[in-house]
A = this chain, B = another copy of it.
């Protein structure tokens, strides 16, 4: 019914650390200084101090704070294990949607999602509110949320939008100065592509990661928070879709490697026009693949 005292617990233990590091009888620094040490507000520090006084570890009378005894293991208060799940919630959510092939129009229950992802409800609400900006989900009039994404329209629009961003990125790369880190990165990527191409028959699964690295490298040239934010979502969606769609994966990946190499060739030749054309070709293939993977899902 109230917020958790995680900060207090962490701060208390940190102050214990301080006490352990100093001799019995030593003076303890000012409240403000302890705040800096623990990275919390004075309110929390004062709560720590009164608890330490209660426990007989320190004496506290105004400015006069001294260590009475060295704290032992039992003095520590245990932290409630940090769920930590909230961090990659986006990744886990998209993974869940695509893995279980959750159809468009499904109502999403915050309570249920909260359990499956072990994330507090209000964090999930915020997350969904964020996704709604991307048109992936939207609010229902009766309350709750509904999954909109992963229809054909969505895939088409996503692909088109991706193309716009990526073609722009390619144009930027072509104009990048010779000492730009992207060039060494591209050289490295060329090697990795050629390497994988040689052993494509057995290792075609490894392409997914390579694909991500490649597009990441191209887009890293564009320093733009809006592009970056979108790119995160876009790459996740494409990445997972291609991972689950197993039809003709080997041929598909082999073809994609050649398309990537064509882009790298054109870029290294500083032929902006050819690079644009090669990228356009590759993006067209990606779009087709994404659409056909949707079709397969629909049937199954």
Q: Which residues of A contact B (CB under 8 A)?
A: 39-41, 122, 125-127, 129-130, 132-135, 141-142, 154, 157-158, 160-161, 164-165, 168, 223-227, 229-230
The CA-CA distance from A227 to B227 in the complex, in Å, is 12
The CA-CA distance from A141 to B41 in the complex, in Å, is 11
For the A-B complex with A133-B133, A158-B226 known, give 8 more contacts whose Cβ atoms are closer than 8 Å: A40-B142, A133-B229, A154-B225, A157-B224, A157-B225, A161-B224, A161-B226, A161-B227
Do residues B229 and A135 form an inter-chain contact, with CB atoms below 8 A? yes
Chain B: CB-nearest residue to A143: B3
Do residues B129 and A226 form an inter-chain contact, with CB atoms below 8 A? no
Return the contact of A133 from the options B40, B134, B154 (Cβ within 8 A).
Answer: B134
Q: A126-B129, A134-B133, A135-B229 are in contact. Are A160 and B40 (CB under 8 A)?
A: no
Query: Cβ of A40: which chain B residues have Cβ within 8 Å of it?
Result: 142
The CA-CA distance from A16 to B160 in the complex, in Å, is 50
Do residues B126 and A226 form an inter-chain contact, with CB atoms below 8 A? no
Most buried by B among A134, A142, A164, A165: A164
The CA-CA distance from A40 to B135 in the complex, in Å, is 25
Do residues B165 and A164 form an inter-chain contact, with CB atoms below 8 A? yes
Do residues A135 and B230 form an inter-chain contact, with CB atoms below 8 A? no
Query: Cβ of A168: which chain B residues have Cβ within 8 Å of it?
Result: 164
Query: Cβ of A129: which chain B residues have Cβ within 8 Å of it?
Result: 125-127, 129-130
The CA-CA distance from A41 to B140 in the complex, in Å, is 13
Do residues A226 and B134 form an inter-chain contact, with CB atoms below 8 A? yes
* Selected A-B contacts with CB under 8 Å, 23 pairs: A40-B142, A41-B142, A122-B122, A122-B125, A125-B125, A125-B129, A126-B126, A126-B129, A129-B129, A130-B130, A130-B133, A133-B133, A133-B134, A134-B226, A134-B229, A135-B229, A154-B225, A157-B225, A161-B226, A161-B227, A164-B164, A164-B165, A226-B230
A272 to chain B, nearest CB (A): 15
Chain B: CB-nearest residue to A44: B142
The CA-CA distance from A224 to B154 in the complex, in Å, is 9
Do residues B225 and A141 form an inter-chain contact, with CB atoms below 8 A? no
Return the contact of A225 from the options B127, B135, B224 (Cβ within 8 A).
Answer: B135
The CA-CA distance from A122 to B143 in the complex, in Å, is 14
Chain B: CB-nearest residue to A131: B133
The CA-CA distance from A129 to B223 in the complex, in Å, is 23
Chain B: CB-nearest residue to A227: B161
Most buried by B among A126, A129, A132, A142: A129
Query: Cβ of A230: which chain B residues have Cβ within 8 Å of it?
Result: 226
Query: Cβ of A142: which chain B residues have Cβ within 8 Å of it?
Result: 40-41
Chain B: CB-nearest residue to A40: B142
The CA-CA distance from A270 to B49 in the complex, in Å, is 75
Most buried by B among A130, A154, A164, A226: A226
Query: Cβ of A229: which chain B residues have Cβ within 8 Å of it?
Result: 133-135
